[in-house]
């Protein structure tokens, strides 16, 4: 019985028999191939295991020859290269590619020598002024562009923003006139309040991150920033901002000014900066402005204009959706929502997008600022909001400055950006020629509203507008006598905007809130009172609304 | 100074070779090496040269006394004195700050000093200890000439970032080495390969790891880590894994190569660790000079594996806690050491060496996953960041699997990453060996091999120079230890 079962088990079912036969036939058929492969493997194994036969004499001789040649040629090569590297007149002192002066040979001091810092400086000098460095750099940049498949690169680390609430919960106390509306919005978004409060915790952490990475990039950019001494009659170029005193108010953090770029995306020849919305800081920006409007109630009209960056204007929405960058249109409307009714908000992003659709040159490709043309659209919208007539662009005197390779290039050193510099089109008002300003060192100077720009290095040409980022500046239009005056509280985005105002206001005051308190004790209300200012415009780019340090500086300026 | 700085490559090293070549006699050549080594060391802070020379001098005397003493007790006493001096100074310079910080945190200890770590102190202290112990054990005679011992300790090839060369290994060569052209050619090849590994691969891998994870030392990495999608953390860990091997083995390659050029033969420090088949195997292939140091001077003196099981486990625990702590005065390094302790114990007593018998792909994967995660622990000095990274690996931070940014970075570095992976395997060396065998039979192949042999050092050097000229990201990782 048992045997029988065994036999049965061994025999496959009948219907499978042809298949199995076929299979064995197939095996027989391919047997020679399998054998051949096996033989090859065996031979290969035998060959690799076998002790190599003694090399013939010609092989030995050749080996010795090539060994000697290796040694001789390499030493010769090393000698030539070192001679080349050590021959001092060979060393460059200025980099055209990077638009900066190269590190000079360090000066010795007892402590720096003893601590070893002096020797580090020598290392840096040696590497930084290496002969033919431009060629080496060019080659390396070319090589790195072939490390992968896509022509897009990202520098810096991307930090995700908070979720932007649909409606702003922070209703200003001064919005007394519109209590019912506030109630409505509060009730409608009650469900979202839980989410908002939960994200607040993480936003605090995100805030410190943004600061930290900004600080590190600030440190980098300060290394590469040219250290030009202030010259007579010419304003000092923008100094690296991280030298500012520690935050004047509560949290003395190590953040840097908005000019430093966190994360940069390069697509073809254009770069864009990432923007991460941070709810807590956005709320802080709103409450700062609300307080300002309260302090100025009855004294001056307050306007706010938040300028988007190129990411949300120049990149089509379809593409942008894929990035980890927060929606700026939504963020701006959140900000505007959070401001009191007294503040007149200047809508901007939609008209910028409309003009972008016509392929106008609104933002630089190699720099994070808007162009003067972009600023003109800002000017039009501002004038509309202020109930005034905007002057046509043809009214202003155009000048062209070529060869601008701005902050994005400084940050990324991308050859794709360097190979296609920007052109600055500047528009000068007719009513005044000069701007008077106070530098960060307290000196008062005067310069042209639109400078020639030739004395500025190619990477800092944006400073040709209104003397650059100065703590305090004023332009007086002597052709007007109506006593009108406006104060623009701005960051560097205001520089190319303010010249348009000159022909509509007798006096245009500009305050860079980041540095003003360093040279002046006065707060916003005092400034407004002292000069009898009728209108105050807060003009900031959106990156200025997500940094604790900037909020602190604004807070301290408003007083 | 670091080997991958242009100043070293085109000023220090050529000058060193020049003097070395044209000075007559080995004694004079040794003087050249000694002076250059001290200058090299002084480059990172001249004050610490005194520490180096002082420690060497103390140990020089101790070794002489050990040698001169007949009684075992006395010999032991001198050994302890020497070791206590070394370890005491190591603790002061490397661990005091850490200790006080912890005391400050737990019991409110009022004083936290700020002590800068002297470069290479971990490495040369270990060399000194190995020297004294070997003298004590009678394996080598004590060195009579101070300058020879100082040359051994301060020799710039290995003084500041390993490999930990035993005195035994180069004792003969310190005073009686020969120059061979074959050594010179081999050394040149080794040196340039190391340089290329560092300049072409390791630096860029490091930049990528920063981009995928977070800037290594930035404050507030936590929230960045929390916002990373899973793929980004996986890739970041992979890049860091590549970086740390390429970086450190590059340094060893350059050290071994430079030694070889002038007739020193240091032991190998790496043997393709990422091709290991188990974690035990990995540690036989990774930083071999350090693991063999711990084996010979800690593990075996404690009793090694020839004790009762609890004692063996204790011995292993001590070794791994020390290994972790040696890598840095921070809790994550201790954790990292203990992580390997646990894995090795599991491998030994639970799996009983099973991974080595698994199919090739399975044990490779096993090793790479565990080692990669180990490097993540190594990198994140803040334990909260580490936790975030670990959760992120599993996709528990709610950022999805991938993002546009991750993909862009990956695609724009795809070829590079493949090449870097290949650089961690013996594949290229195998091809070289194959070509060599082929060349014995075909004259054309011989010509090809000759061209490659002669041209590759120069080509690699030029490419590395190009990479180093504009590179701000350069220090060797193991400099911190």
Q: Is the peptide bond before B163 cis (omega within 30 degrees of 0)?
A: yes
Mind listing the pLDDT tens digit for each residue in B52-102? 999 999 999 999 999 888 888 888 999 999 999 999 999 888 888 888 888
Shared domain for B162 and B244, answered yes or no, is no
Shared domain for B363 and B447, answered yes or no, is yes
The two three-digit tokens of residue B285, written as one number: 């292939």
Last residue of a domain, one of B157, B177, B197: B177
Q: Measured between CA atoms, how close is B453 to chain A, in angstroms?
A: 7
What's the pLDDT at B368?
94
Whether B323 and B294 have beta carbons less than 8 Å apart is answered as yes
DSSP assignment letter at B424: T
Taking a contact as any Cβ pair under 8 Å apart, which residues of chain B between 13 and 42 contact chain A?
13-15, 17, 42
Shared domain for B121 and B226, answered yes or no, is no
Asked if residue B343 belongs to a domain, the reply is: no
| CB-CB neighbors (< 8 A) of A73 in chain B | 454, 458
Please answer yes or no on whether B211 and A157 come within 8 Å at the CB atom: yes
- The total domain count for chain B is 2
Establish if B402 touches chain A: CB-CB under 8 angstroms: no
Considering CB atoms only, which of B405, B415, B466 is closest to A140? B466
Of all residues in chain B, the one with the smallest CA distance to A116 is: B45
Shared domain for B366 and B465, answered yes or no, is yes
pTM to 2 decimal places: 0.73
Shared domain for B103 and B38, answered yes or no, is yes
Shared domain for B44 and B131, answered yes or no, is yes
CA diameter of chain B:
76
The two three-digit tokens of residue A284, written as one number: 């802080």
Establish if B446 touches chain A: CB-CB under 8 angstroms: yes
Establish if B46 touches chain A: CB-CB under 8 angstroms: yes
Strands A343-345 and A301-307: parallel
Asked if residue B1 belongs to a domain, the reply is: no
Of all residues in chain A, the one with the smallest CA distance to B441 is: A59
CA dist., res. A305 & res. A336, Å (int): 9
Q: pLDDT at residue B242 above 90?
A: yes
CA dist., res. A218 & res. A216, Å (int): 5
Active site residues of B: 327
Considering CB atoms only, which of B13, B412, B466 is closest to A147? B412
Shared domain for B141 and B207, answered yes or no, is no
What's the pLDDT at A559?
81
Asked if residue B353 belongs to a domain, the reply is: no
pLDDT in tens, chain A (559 residues): 444 554 445 566 777 787 888 877 887 777 777 777 777 777 776 766 666 666 677 778 888 888 888 888 999 999 998 988 888 777 777 766 555 667 778 787 777 777 777 888 888 888 878 888 778 877 887 788 788 876 677 766 666 667 777 766 554 444 333 333 333 333 333 333 333 333 333 333 333 333 333 333 333 333 333 333 333 333 434 333 333 333 333 222 222 233 446 678 888 788 898 888 888 888 999 999 999 999 888 888 999 999 999 988 988 888 888 787 888 988 999 999 889 888 999 999 999 999 988 889 999 999 999 999 999 999 999 999 999 999 999 999 999 998 888 888 877 777 778 888 899 999 999 988 889 998 888 888 888 899 887 777 777 888 889 888 888 999 999 888 888 999 999 988 999 999 999 999 999 999 999 888 888 888 898 999 999 898 999 999 998 888 888 888 898 888 8
Q: A217-221, A542-546, B235-239, B271-275: which has the minimum mean pLDDT?
A: A217-221
Last residue of a domain, one of B114, B144, B177: B177
Shared domain for B458 and B432, answered yes or no, is yes
- Give me the residues paired with residue A304 across strands: A345, A538
Considering CB atoms only, which of A146, A154, A322 is closest to B211? A154
- Give me the residues paired with residue A206 across strands: none
| CB-CB neighbors (< 8 A) of B413 in chain A | 147-148
Asked if residue B289 belongs to a domain, the reply is: no
- A328-338 and A349-357 helices cross at what angle (nearest 10)? 150
Please answer yes or no on whether B413 and A324 come within 8 Å at the CB atom: no
Whether A541 and A364 have beta carbons less than 8 Å apart is answered as no
* Residues in Cβ contact with B395 at an 8 Å cutoff, skipping those fewer than 6 apart: B229, B230, B401
Establish if A251 touches chain B: CB-CB under 8 angstroms: no
CA dist., res. B145 & res. B149, Å (int): 7
Of all residues in chain B, the one with the smallest CA distance to A81 is: B10
Shared domain for B211 and B129, answered yes or no, is no
- Residues A68-84 as b or e (16 or more Cβ within 10 Å = b): eebbeebbeebeebbee
What's the pLDDT at A483?
86
Mutate: best of A148, A214, A256, A321, partner B, most B CBs <10 A:
A148
Please answer yes or no on whether B450 and A213 come within 8 Å at the CB atom: no
Q: A19-28, A536-545, B210-219, B367-376: which has the minimum mean pLDDT?
A: B210-219
Establish if A82 touches chain B: CB-CB under 8 angstroms: yes
CA dist., res. B113 & res. A490, Å (int): 44
CA dist., res. A512 & res. A465, Å (int): 14
Shared domain for B463 and B388, answered yes or no, is yes
Asked if residue B295 belongs to a domain, the reply is: no
Q: Measured between CA atoms, how close is A147 to chain B, in angstroms?
A: 5
Please answer yes or no on whether A323 and B405 come within 8 Å at the CB atom: yes
Establish if A78 touches chain B: CB-CB under 8 angstroms: yes
- The band of B463, judged by pLDDT with boundaries at 50, 70 and 90, is very high
Shared domain for B238 and B384, answered yes or no, is yes
The two three-digit tokens of residue B140, written as one number: 């080598």
- Give me the residues paired with residue B55 across strands: none
Please answer yes or no on whether A55 and B440 come within 8 Å at the CB atom: yes
Interval B243-268 mean pLDDT: 93
ipTM for the whole predicted complex goes beyond 0.90 = no
Shared domain for B238 and B362, answered yes or no, is yes
What's the pLDDT at A95?
66
- What residues make up the domain containing B89? 6-177
- Give the number of beta-carbon pairs within 8 Å between A and B: 193
What's the pLDDT at A48?
63
Please answer yes or no on whether A123 and B7 come within 8 Å at the CB atom: yes
What's the pLDDT at B401?
85
Considering CB atoms only, which of A78, A148, A324 is closest to B414? A148
What's the pLDDT at B398?
79
Q: What is the dihedral angle through the alpha carbons of B427, B433, B437, B440, rounded to the nearest 10 degrees?
A: 130
Mutate: best of B46, B188, B220, B416, partner A, most A CBs <10 A:
B220
Last residue of a domain, one of B131, B162, B177: B177
For a pLDDT cut of 90, what percent of chain B falls above it? 46
Asked if residue B77 belongs to a domain, the reply is: yes
What sections of A261-338 are H helices per DSSP? 279-295, 311-314, 317-320, 328-338
Asked if residue B89 belongs to a domain, the reply is: yes
Whether B246 and B206 have beta carbons less than 8 Å apart is answered as no
Q: pLDDT at residue B124 above 80?
A: yes
| CB-CB neighbors (< 8 A) of A127 in chain B | 5-7, 468-469
What's the pLDDT at A323?
81
């Amino acid at each position: 019985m048992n045997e029988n079962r065994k036999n049965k088990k061994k025999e496959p079912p009948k219907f499978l028999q042809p298949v199995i036969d076929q299979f064995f036939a197939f095996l027989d058929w391919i047997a020679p191939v399998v054998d051949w492969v096996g033989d090859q493997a065996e031979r290969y194994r035998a060959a690799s295991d076998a002790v190599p036969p003694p090399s013939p004499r010609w092989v030995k001789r050749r080996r010795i020859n090539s060994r000697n040649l290796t040694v001789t040629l390499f030493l010769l090569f090393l000698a030539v290269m070192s001679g080349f590297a050590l021959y001092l007149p060979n060393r460059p002192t200025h980099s055209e590619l990077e638009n900066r002066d190269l590190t000079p040979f360090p000066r010795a001091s007892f402590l720096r020598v003893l601590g070893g810092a002096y020797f580090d400086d020598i290392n840096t000098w040696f590497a930084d002024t290496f002969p033919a460095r431009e060629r080496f750099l060019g080659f390396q940049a070319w090589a790195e562009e072939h490390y992968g498949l896509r022509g897009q690169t990202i520098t810096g680390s991307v930090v995700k923003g908070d979720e932007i609430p649909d409606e702003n919960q922070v209703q200003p106390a001064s919005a007394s006139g519109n209590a019912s509306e506030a109630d409505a919005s509060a009730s409608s978004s009650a469900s979202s309040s839980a989410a908002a409060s939960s994200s607040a915790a993480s936003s605090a952490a995100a805030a410190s991150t943004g600061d930290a990475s900004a600080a590190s990039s600030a440190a980098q950019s300060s290394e590469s920033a040219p250290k030009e001494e202030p010259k007579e009659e010419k304003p000092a170029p923008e100094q690296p901002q991280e030298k500012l005193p520690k935050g004047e108010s509560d949290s003395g953090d190590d953040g840097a000014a908005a000019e430093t770029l966190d994360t940069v995306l390069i697509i073809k020849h254009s770069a864009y900066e990432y923007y991460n919305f941070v709810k807590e800081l956005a709320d802080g920006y709103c409450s700062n402005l609300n307080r300002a409007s309260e302090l100025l109630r009855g004294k001056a009209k307050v306007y706010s204009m938040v300028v988007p960056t190129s990411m949300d204007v120049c990149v089509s929405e379809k593409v942008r959706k894929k990035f980890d960058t927060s929606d700026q249109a939504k963020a701006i409307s959140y900000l505007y929502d959070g401001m009191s009714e007294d503040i007149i908000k200047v809508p901007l992003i939609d008209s910028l997008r409309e003009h972008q659709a016509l392929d106008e040159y609104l933002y630089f490709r190699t720099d994070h600022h808007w162009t003067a043309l972009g600023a003109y659209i800002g000017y039009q919208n501002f004038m509309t909001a202020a109930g005034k007539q905007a002057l046509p662009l043809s009214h202003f005197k155009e000048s062209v400055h070529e060869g601008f390779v701005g902050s994005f290039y400084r940050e990324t050193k991308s050859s794709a950006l360097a190979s296609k510099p920007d052109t600055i089109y500047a528009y000068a008002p007719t009513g005044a020629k000069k701007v008077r300003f106070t530098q960060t060192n307290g000196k008062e100077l005067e310069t042209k509203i639109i400078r020639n720009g030739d004395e500025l290095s190619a990477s800092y040409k944006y400073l040709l507008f209104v003397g650059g980022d100065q703590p305090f500046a004023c332009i007086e239009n002597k052709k007007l006598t109506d006593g009108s005056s406006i104060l623009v509280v701005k960051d560097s985005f205001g520089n190319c905007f303010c010249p348009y105002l000159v022909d509509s206001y007798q006096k245009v005051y500009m305050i860079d809130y980041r540095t003003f308190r360093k040279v002046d004790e006065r707060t916003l209300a005092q400034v407004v009172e002292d000069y009898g200012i009728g209108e105050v415009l807060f003009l900031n780019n959106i990156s200025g609304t997500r940094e604790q340090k900037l909020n602190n500086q604004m807070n301290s300026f408003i007083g | 100074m670091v080997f991958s700085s242009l100043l070293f490559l085109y000023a220090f090293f050529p000058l060193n070779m020049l003097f070395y070549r044209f000075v007559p006699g080995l004694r004079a050549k040794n003087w050249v090496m000694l002076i250059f080594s001290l200058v090299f060391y002084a480059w990172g802070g001249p004050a610490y040269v005194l520490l180096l020379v002082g420690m060497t001098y103390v140990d020089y005397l101790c070794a002489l006394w050990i040698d001169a003493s007949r009684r075992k007790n006395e010999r032991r006493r001198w050994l302890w004195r020497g070791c206590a001096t070394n370890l005491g100074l190591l603790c002061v310079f490397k661990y005091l700050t850490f200790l006080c910080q912890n005391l400050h945190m737990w019991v409110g200890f009022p004083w936290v000093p700020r002590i800068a770590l002297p470069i290479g102190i971990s490495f040369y202290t270990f060399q000194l200890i190995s020297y004294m112990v070997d003298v004590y054990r009678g394996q080598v005679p004590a060195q009579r000439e101070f300058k020879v011992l100082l040359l051994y300790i301060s020799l710039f090839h290995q003084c500041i970032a390993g490999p930990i060369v035993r005195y035994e290994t180069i004792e003969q060569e310190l005073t009686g080495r020969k120059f061979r052209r074959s050594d010179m050619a081999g050394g040149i090849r080794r040196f340039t390969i190391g340089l290329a590994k560092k300049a072409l691969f390791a630096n860029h891998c490091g930049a990528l790891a920063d981009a995928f994870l977070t800037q290594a030392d930035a404050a507030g990495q936590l929230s960045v880590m929390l916002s990373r999608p899973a793929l980004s953390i996986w890739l970041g860990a992979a890049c860091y894994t590549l970086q740390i091997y390429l970086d450190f083995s590059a340094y060893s390659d350059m050290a071994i190569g430079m030694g070889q050029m002038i007739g020193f033969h240091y032991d190998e420090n790496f043997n393709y660790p990422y091709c290991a088949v188990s974690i035990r195997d990995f540690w036989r292939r990774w930083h071999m000079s350090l693991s063999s140091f711990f084996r010979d001077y800690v593990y075996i003196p404690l009793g090694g594996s020839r004790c009762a099981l609890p004692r063996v486990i204790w011995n292993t625990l001590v070794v791994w806690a020390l290994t972790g702590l040696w890598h840095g005065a921070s809790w994550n390094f201790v954790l990292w050491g203990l992580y390997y302790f646990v894995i090795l114990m599991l491998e030994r007593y639970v799996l009983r060496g099973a991974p080595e018998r698994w199919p090739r792909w399975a044990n490779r994967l096993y090793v790479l996953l565990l080692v990669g995660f180990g490097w993540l622990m190594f990198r994140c000095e803040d334990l909260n960041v580490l936790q975030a990274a670990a959760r992120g690996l599993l996709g528990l931070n709610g950022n999805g699997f991938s993002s546009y940014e991750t993909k862009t970075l990956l695609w724009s570095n795809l070829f590079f990453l493949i090449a870097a992976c290949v650089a961690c395997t013996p594949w290229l060396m195998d091809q070289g060996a194959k070509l060599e065998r082929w060349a014995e039979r075909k004259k054309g192949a011989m010509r090809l091999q000759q061209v490659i042999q002669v041209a590759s050092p120069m080509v690699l050097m030029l490419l590395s120079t190009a990479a180093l000229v504009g590179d701000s990201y350069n220090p060797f990782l193991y400099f911190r230890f």
